[in-house]
Every structure is written in C-alpha cells, then in structure tokens.
Amino acid sequence: MKSVALSTFAILAATSLTRAQSENLPTYPVSDDVTFNFDILSTMGQIPNDGADVSPSLEASNNITPGDRESFTLAWFNLANKTKQQALDPEIAYDPVNVRATWFSVASYFRRADTYNRADWNDPRINSYWEEQQEAFDKAIAALPVPARRIAIPTDGFTIEAIWYPHSNNIERRPTILMGQGFDAAQEDLYATFVAPALQRGYHVLTFEGPGQNKPRRDQGVGFIPDWERVVTPVVDLVLSDLADYVDPDRLVLYGHSFGGYLEARAAAFEHRISALVLNGGVYDSFMVYSTPLSDDLRQLLESGEQERFDESVAELVQAEETPTQIKWGVEQGLWSFNTHSPFEWFQMLREYNLTGLTDNIQVPVWLADGEFEDVNAGQSQLVKDAMGDRAELHLFNGSAGYHCQTGASQEFGRVIFAWLNKALNKEA
C-alpha cells in the first residue's frame, strides 16, 4: 500500500506547496502555500462590498503556516471573533451602515475559518462556525437599504435554500439573475463579488443552494445530485409565481459558479424558461477533472474496481504530511459534499456529472469564462465551447484576473459579464 501512496506523492509533488513562488503567478504571494494563497485572495476579493478589510486579512495571512490547515483555521477564527466583538458594541452599531459592513466581514471571516474543517464529519466546528456566519450574514442583509431575505423552497426529497435580494423596495419587474454556487463555497460568498454589483446595476438577484452545498448539506444531510434541474426548476417556478411581480420572465439569467458550471449547464438542458446562461467557467466532465491528478497506480486501482485498496491509498495520501493542501482539501471536501466516506464511491458518482449529449438542448445564449491560471477545471471551458459552437461565447481572463473564477478580480469580471448581459438581454435602462 505504502508504495502506491508514495509514488502518488512523487507525481503530485510536481504541483506542490511552493507553487506560489515557482509558478511565476502574476500577483505577490500572500502565502507560499498556493492553496492558502488562493483562499486568502478569495477573502480579499470580498473587500469592495464590505466582505473583508485589507490589513486585517493580511495580518491573518501572516499567522498562517504553509501546509498547516489548523493555523489557517485559527487565524481566521481569531479575526472573526475579534470583529464580532466590534459588531456587538452598541456604540459601533449606532447606524445600519456600520451594522451591515461589520457583520458582512464577520460572516466572511467565519466562513474562511470553516474552509478546512472536513477531516472529521463530527467536528463541531462544521456547524458552530456555520451558525456564526449565518447569524452574522442575516444581521448584515437585514440592515441593507433594501433588505434581503431567506426563502426555503421545499421539493420532493430536499429543500433548496435561497436568498432573495430585490433591487429596490418598489414592486417592478426587472431582469433577474439566479446565482448557483459550486463545489464548496457558500451562496453568501457571492454577495460581495457578484450580488452587490448586480443590484447596483438594476438586477434583482436570487442565490440558491441545493444538495451537497453548504446549508442543505448541513441541515438535511444531503449530498450532491447530478440531475440539477431538480434544483433549478423549483427555483424558476418560485420566481415566476411568488416573485412574479418583480421578475421579468423574458430576462431571467442563470449563473453557475465554479462546479456550478456543470450543475447549471446540466439544468439548462432541461429548464427552458431562462433567457441566458452564464458559466464561470465551463465543466464538461467532472470525472476527468478529479481523476486527472491521480497517479497511474491509483488510476489502475480505480479502473480495476479495487475499492478497498483505492480507499486505503487515498486515505494514506491525505494523511501524508507532504501531500499538497489542494489534494487534502479536495478529497475531504469532496467526500463530505457528496456524502460518502469512500473515495472510490465518490469517483463512481463523479462519472455522472458530465454534459455528454446534453449541450444541444441548451438553446439560449451562453457565456463562458476561462482563466490563464485556471487550475481546478483546466481545459474544461474549451470542451464546453467546442460542444456548443456559436451559441457560446468564451472569454479568457488573463494576467491578474486569470485565477479560477477571477478570484481577487471581481471588478474585471463584472465589467465583462454585465456588458455581455446588457447585449444578451437587450436590457433597457
């Protein structure tokens, strides 16, 4: 067994810890651990709309040791706790501007502190940090000039958890963006980077989470499902009924973030009431995405159906000190969100998450992002573009906007995507 894991490590070492320095990335590394570097940039990307602050985030990054996930957790927890004390101070909470800015940041720091709590499903921090972030976030959205609210959408088998952000207090039909998250991040993570910029431009927004995603996974114990139209169709039903006074049915956009690039595309092949589809970025074949980093040895165990040996080897790999943070995190988050303890089973599930034979059923304009430094879903946006041809526009973000999902560069993402939506929806005003 050992030999399998060790040779696996030899392969993985190529994509290892010090990549932030060696890969010549376009931004100054805030951690020598490339995965922590990405996570810290994600937090700092929330700065423009109250989701974080610069020096406190850099101070947290100073207290993080590359490869040490507990140090990452603690650094963000301490910042979250410290900021929460300020939010609770009645003198500071004298007006709604302070209230929402402070609580949005508290929520975001607690979410960051939760990133690596997946090794043990009974780790109480999985729920306690989440409750902290949710309470903080709800205080922030209640203090917005136009308050947002949570909506639970029961379906057959699970409940979708959504947040409705109306553009204004006036009842008027407007273009509306339905925003779906991906593999790990929360719908709350979209607020600073995409929801607030959409509201500022006159859109209504509904974010939502289905099985496998943060709130449904915690509250209902449900893992991901491949047939994501079971999530999107009830969401569209809701906005065209309960929210019909607000939603312009001819200008309804569906957005998929990261792994949402698979989920929302899959749903759009079955749900035809949307007007445009935005994939950031494309995911054609999830099994290909997650099996590419496997060594030849591990792949052989997987293909020959040796579940026990495969599971043991992956467990050993995740335990090994030298294994890159990205791999440890990806496996632990994958098992938790797909609700299985067996990596072998997880890979069998992933085979179903592909767009083969489905793209012809998507008949609305499609916009796809790709990034010069895309590492998670490298090459996938091009596969989706190839399958969709002229119906899809592929935008390559490069340089400092070229990380996975334009992390840290949501302003550039906004410039590009809202200009495209403006044309695609022929939006007046």
CB 85 to ligand NAG: min, Å: 5
CB closer to ligand NAG out of 81 and 307: 81
CB 399 to ligand NAG: min, Å: 6
Does residue 333 belong to the site contacting ligand NAG (CB under 6 A)? no
CB 82 to ligand NAG: min, Å: 6
The interface region with ligand NAG, picked from 79-87, 131-139, 253-261, 329-337 by CB under 6 A, is 79-87
CB closer to ligand NAG out of 373 and 418: 373
CB closer to ligand NAG out of 166 and 212: 212
- Among 351, 361, 363, 386, the residue binding ligand NAG under the rule CB under 6 A is 351
Tell me the CB-side half-sphere exposure of residue 319, using CA atoms within 13 A. Answer: 9
β 149-154/159-165 pair status: antiparallel
Does residue 63 belong to the site contacting ligand NAG (CB under 6 A)? no
Nearest 5°: the CA angle 381, 345, 281 is 15
CB 395 to ligand NAG: min, Å: 8
Does residue 85 belong to the site contacting ligand NAG (CB under 6 A)? yes
Quick one: which of 234, 83, 250 has its CA closest to 162? Answer: 234
CB 313 to ligand NAG: min, Å: 23
CB 422 to ligand NAG: min, Å: 19
Does residue 415 belong to the site contacting ligand NAG (CB under 6 A)? no
Does residue 272 belong to the site contacting ligand NAG (CB under 6 A)? no
With the C-alpha atoms ordered 409, 414, 419, 424, is the resulting torsion angle positive or negative? positive
3-state secondary structure of 375: coil
CB 243 to ligand NAG: min, Å: 31
- Among 15, 65, 81, 348, the residue binding ligand NAG under the rule CB under 6 A is 81
Give yes or no for a contact between 72 and 60, defined as CB atoms under 8 angstroms apart.
no
For 175: left if phi > 0, alpha if psi spans -120 to 50, otherwise beta; the answer is beta
Does residue 354 belong to the site contacting ligand NAG (CB under 6 A)? yes
- For the chain, the first-to-last Cα distance in angstroms comes to 63
Q: Distance between CA atoms of 165 and 191, rounded to whole angstroms?
A: 10
Does residue 340 belong to the site contacting ligand NAG (CB under 6 A)? no
Spell out where 137-216 has E strands.
149-154, 159-165, 174-180, 204-209
Window 192 to 231, contacts with ligand NAG (CB under 6 A) = 226
Residue type, position 278, single letter: V
The interface region with ligand NAG, picked from 78-86, 179-187, 310-318, 360-368 by CB under 6 A, is 78-86
Strand ranges across the sheet with 204-209: 149-154, 159-165, 204-209, 174-180, 247-257, 276-280, 366-371, 392-397
Q: How many residues bind ligand NAG (CB under 6 A)?
A: 10
Q: Which residues contact 347 (CB under 8 A, 6 or more apart)?
A: 287, 290, 291, 302
Residue type, position 307, single letter: Q
CB 406 to ligand NAG: min, Å: 13
The interface region with ligand NAG, picked from 113-121, 170-178, 348-356, 417-425 by CB under 6 A, is 348-356
CB closer to ligand NAG out of 84 and 167: 84
Phi then psi for residue 280, to 5 deg, are -120, 85
Does residue 18 belong to the site contacting ligand NAG (CB under 6 A)? no
Name the DSSP letter for residue 195. Answer: I
Does residue 352 belong to the site contacting ligand NAG (CB under 6 A)? yes
CB closer to ligand NAG out of 211 and 324: 211
Window 387 to 406, contacts with ligand NAG (CB under 6 A) = 398
Give yes or no for a contact between 109 and 82, defined as CB atoms under 8 angstroms apart.
no
CB closer to ligand NAG out of 125 and 174: 125
Give yes or no for a contact between 282 and 380, defined as CB atoms under 8 angstroms apart.
yes
Binding site for ligand NAG (CB under 6 A): 81-82, 85, 226, 287, 351-352, 354, 356, 398
